[in-house]
Structure 1
Amino acid sequence: MNSTHRQIAVIGGGLSGICSAYFLAAKGYEVAVIERRAHVAEEATFGDSGLLAPGAAMPLTLPGALATFACRFEDEPRVLLASGTDFSRRRWMGATRQAQQHHFAENKLRLSRLSAYGQSLTQQLQAHYNLDNENGSGVFHLFRQPAEAARMEAMQEAARQCEFKHQVLDAAAIRTLEPAFSSEAKLSGALYYPDDQAGNCVLFAKQMRNAAQALGVSFHFESHVRSVSAEFGGRVALQVDSPHLAPQMRVDAVVVAAGMASAELLRPLDTDLPLRALQSYSALVPVKNPDDAPNMALYDDSYKVAMTRLGSRIRISGLLGFVPPSQTLPPKALRNLLKIAGDYYPNAANYNQAHFWSNTLALLPHGLPVVGPTRQGNVFVNVGHGATGWAASVGSARLLADMVSGEDTEIPIDGLQPRDVLA
C-alpha cells in the first residue's frame, strides 16, 4: 500500500465510484464515498445499457458533419440536437470525428482490452459473492450503413488480438441463432460475440455497494462536494454541503468519479478535461410473446442503441442527444427507441406500455474513459465510460486502485490516463 494515501474520498456513487471504493478498500485503505443523490447508481449508471460486452464495446463515434446536422430535420434522427448554434458542440464533435478517422483501430483495441479485463473481474466478483444479475450470453453488433460496416475489419482485428470468439453474420445467419429476429431487418453487416454478456448493471452496482460496505467503506448520501483543493503538506481539502459530514474534510487522496461534475471540480487543479454532457434515453417494456422475444442482446451501431432481455422485460437504451436535461423527454427519442426495437423484434413486447427515462452522460471526444492521477498527484479521476461502460467501469476501478497504491497494473493503461486527453 502507498502509505501516504491512507484516507481516500471517492466523489460519486455510480458504478465507477462504487467499484473504485471497493478495490481501494480491498487494498486496506479507509474509504468514504460521497454522493449527492439519496442512493447509489441513480445517474449515468441507471441509464447503462446492461451490456457486459468487450467484443461489442465501441469508442463513441458520431455521424459525419452533414449527417449529424441533418439529424435535426429527420423524423428518426441518430443524434438529437438542440436548436441554435453551439460552437463548443461543433468543436467537440469535430474532435470526435478526428478520433474516429485517425485513431479508431487503436482506441477500439484499448477499449476492448479494458472491457475484457472488467468483464473478467465482474465474473470473479459475481462468483465470489454469489451475485444474481440476470446475465445472458451472446451479443449481436449490427451495422445498418455500409460506412459503419467498413469498420468491421478493425473490430475483428481487435477481437483477434484480445482472443475474443466472434463471427461475421448476415440476417439469415442471425435468425439461425435467434429465430425471433425479424426477416425484414436491413443490415450492411453484423458481428456476433458468443462470450459477450448482458445483465442488470444497476443491480450489480447496488450489490457492489454492499460488498464495499462489508470491507469498511462508508457511504454519505445527499452530500454535495463544492470544491477540491490541494493543501500544503500533501493533503486534499474538500468543501462539502452535507447533513452529516463536516463542511470541510481533509483526506490523503481523492478519486473524482462524479460524471459531468468532475470537470468543474478538476478545473481549478489545472486539469481541464474536455468532457461533454450528452443525454441518453432508455425504455423498459414488458415481454408480450416470449417466443418472439430476444434471448441474446444486440447493439445497433447506427443509433447507438442496445436491446437486452431482463427476464420478462426488455430494456432498450442509447440514442444520444446534445440537448439539455428535461423532465419532458423528446418525443423523437421515445419514438426512435421503440422503432429500433420494432425493426428487429416487432412482436416481442407491449411497446405501447413502455416506461421511459433519460440520463446525462459525461463523455470525452476519443470515446474512451479516463482513469488515473491528475496533475495534482493525489487527486485521481475515473470518468467517461458511457452508456455501454459496465465492463470498462469495473476494469478502470481496478486499474485506479493499482495506480493509487503504486502497483503495476495488470493491463496497459496507455491512452486512458488524464495526461492523454489534456492539452
Structure 2
Amino acid sequence: MPQQTTETKTDSVTNNNTHRQIAVIGGGLSGICTAYFLAAKGFEVAVLERRANVAEEATFGNSGLLAPGSAMPLTLPGRFATFRCRFQDEPRVLLRSGIDMARNRWMRGTRKAQQQEFAANKLRLTRLSAYGQMLTRHLQEHHALEHENSDGVIHLFRHAADAARIPQLLEAAQQSELKHKAVDAEAIRLLEPAFASGAALAGAIHYPQDQAGNCVLFAKQMRLAAQELGVVFHFGCTVKSLQPEFGGRVALEVEAPQFESSRLMVDGVVVAAGLQSANLLRPLGTVLPLHALESYSALVPIKNPDDAPNAALVDEAYKVAMTRIGNRIRISGLLGFVSPSKTPPPKALRNLLKIAGDYYPNAANYNQAHFWSNSMALTPSGMPLLGPTLQGNVYVNVGHGASGWAASVGSSALVAEMLAGEEPAFDPEGLLLQHMPVAK
C-alpha cells in the first residue's frame, strides 16, 4: 500500500479499498501496537495522532517496567491518609485543594475495587501482562529491535497495610506460573549488593523474570515495524467526533491540514487516546470511567556504577519505580490529583529523589536530575479497558497506567484478535467495557 505523508492531500484515510479500513486514534504504545497487530492480520490501518510524533504523552511517562509479577491494580492509601497528603512534606498522593466531586466519585470506585475485586483483578492483570511480555520479547527478537532491558524486579512494601496483600500477589504469581520469592532486606542485598536502605520494610517480593527497559524506544521502533506492514501515521491530526453510519461504516470528523475533507470514512475504529477517548465516546452513549492523574518522573546520570541498581525496584507505598537504563536511572511514579503542569510540584521532585536516595544513595548525581510530568487516564480499579463499545465496529483500548507496558501490548493483541473475529488468546473477562462498573 502506498504510504501517505502528512503533506499528502486525500479524502480517505488510505488508498486501497480492497481490505477493511481501520482508524486507530492515538499514537501512544497502545495505538501503535494495535495498528501493528491489525496490519499483521491483513487490515488496512491508519493511526491518527494529534501530536507531531508517537509516544509524546502518557507513553513518554511510562515507568519502563515490563513486569507481569509486579504489575498491580491501582491501590491508594486509605481516605484519611490520602487527604492528609496535602499537608505532608513527603506525600504519597498529591491532591489539589478544594472539593472535587468527580474525583471523590472515582475514588469511591477505587476503594470498592480494592476491597472487593483486588485478588481477581491482580490475577487478570498478571496474566494479561505475562501475555504482553511474551509478545514484546518476540517482537524485539523478530524485528531485531534495540533495547535496554534489565532482568529482575524487587517489589518493596514499607507499610503493613500494603504488605497484607503479599499472599494474594504470591497466589497470582503461582497461578500464572511466574517465578517469585518473598525476600527480606538481607536477601535483597544478596540480589542487589548496592541496596543500602536501612529503613524497615514490611515485606518484599523478588520476580526474577520481570524486566525493565526503555518503553519509549520500543514504541518508536514499533512505529517503524508497523509502517513496514503498511500502517500509515497521520500526525497533527485531531479527531473531533465519531459518527456511526448506515452500512456499518464510521465517519470521523477531523481537524488536520493534510486532509482536503474534514470527514473520513472507515470500516472500524479503535480509540486509544487516553482521556480524549472518553470525550469521543460519550456522545455515542458509551461512558468510560476514566480520571486524569498526573505522574512524575526523573532521569539521573549514574555516578558510581557499582552503587547503582541492576534490577528494577518498585516502592509500593509511593507508587514509584526505579529502573536502570544504560548509564542512567529513571525514577517514575507518584500520583497526583492536580492540574497538569510542565513544571512538577516541588513536593513531587523532593519525593522522587528522596525515595531513590533511600535505597541507592551513592548511585547517581541526583542534583543533575531532569524532571517531567505527564497525564494519564486511569479506571477506578487501575485495570485496562478494552474491546467493543455499544457500536460493534468501534473499539477501545485505554487505561494501562504508568507501569502498563506489558499490559498495553497484550491488550492491543487482544483487540486485534477481536476485530478479526478470532478467539482471543485468553478470556478477557473483567477487562471488557461491559464488565467495567462506573463509580457513582
Q: Do both share a fold (TM > 0.5)? A: yes
Write out aligned runs for 1:8-407 (5 A): 8-245=22-259, 246-407=261-422
Does 2:420 align with 1:408? no
How many aligned residue pairs are there?
A: 421
User: 1:359 Cα deviation (Å)?
Assistant: 0.6
The 3-state SS of whatever aligns with 2:52 is coil
Unaligned 5+ runs, structure 1 = none
The 3-state SS of whatever aligns with 1:357 is strand
Any conservation in 2 of the 1:292–1:347 contact (CA below 8 Å)? yes
Q: Pick which of 323-332 and 278-287 moved more.
A: 323-332
User: 1:311 Cα deviation (Å)?
Assistant: 0.9
User: 1:183 Cα deviation (Å)?
Assistant: 4.0
User: 1:230 Cα deviation (Å)?
Assistant: 0.7
User: 1:394 Cα deviation (Å)?
Assistant: 0.3
Q: Percent identity?
A: 70
Any conservation in 1 of the 2:302–2:328 contact (CA below 8 Å)? yes
Measured against aligned partners, the alpha-carbon deviations of 1:332-351 in whole angstroms (never above 9, x if no partner) come to: 00000000111110110000
Q: Structure 2 CA distance, aligned partners of 1:88 and 1:208? A: 36
CA RMSD in angstroms comes to: 1.1
Q: Structure 1 CA distance, aligned partners of 2:333 and 2:243? A: 35
Q: Structure 2 CA distance, aligned partners of 1:88 and 1:243? A: 35
Q: Structure 2 CA distance, aligned partners of 1:82 and 1:4? A: 52
Any conservation in 2 of the 1:271–1:422 contact (CA below 8 Å)? no
User: 1:87 Cα deviation (Å)?
Assistant: 1.4
> Structure 2 counterpart of 1:110, which letter?
R
User: 1:185 Cα deviation (Å)?
Assistant: 3.0
Q: Structure 1 CA distance, aligned partners of 2:106 and 2:271? A: 22
> Structure 2 counterpart of 1:230, which letter?
P
Q: Post-superposition, which runs of at least 4 consecutive aligned residues in structure 1 deviate over 4 A?
A: none
Q: Structure 1 CA distance, aligned partners of 2:342 and 2:131? A: 36
Any conservation in 2 of the 1:272–1:422 contact (CA below 8 Å)? no
Unaligned 5+ runs, structure 2 = 1-16
> Structure 2 counterpart of 1:267, which letter?
R
Q: Structure 1 CA distance, aligned partners of 2:244 and 2:85? A: 44
Distance 1:183 1:300, change over 3 A: closer
User: 1:422 Cα deviation (Å)?
Assistant: 4.8
Q: Structure 1 CA distance, aligned partners of 2:216 and 2:303? A: 24
The 3-state SS of whatever aligns with 1:185 is coil
User: 1:143 Cα deviation (Å)?
Assistant: 0.3
Measured against aligned partners, the alpha-carbon deviations of 1:351-380 in whole angstroms (never above 9, x if no partner) come to: 000000001000001110011000110000
Any conservation in 1 of the 2:297–2:352 contact (CA below 8 Å)? yes
Q: Structure 2 CA distance, aligned partners of 1:409 and 1:328? A: 42
Any conservation in 2 of the 1:182–1:345 contact (CA below 8 Å)? yes
> Structure 2 counterpart of 1:360, which letter?
S
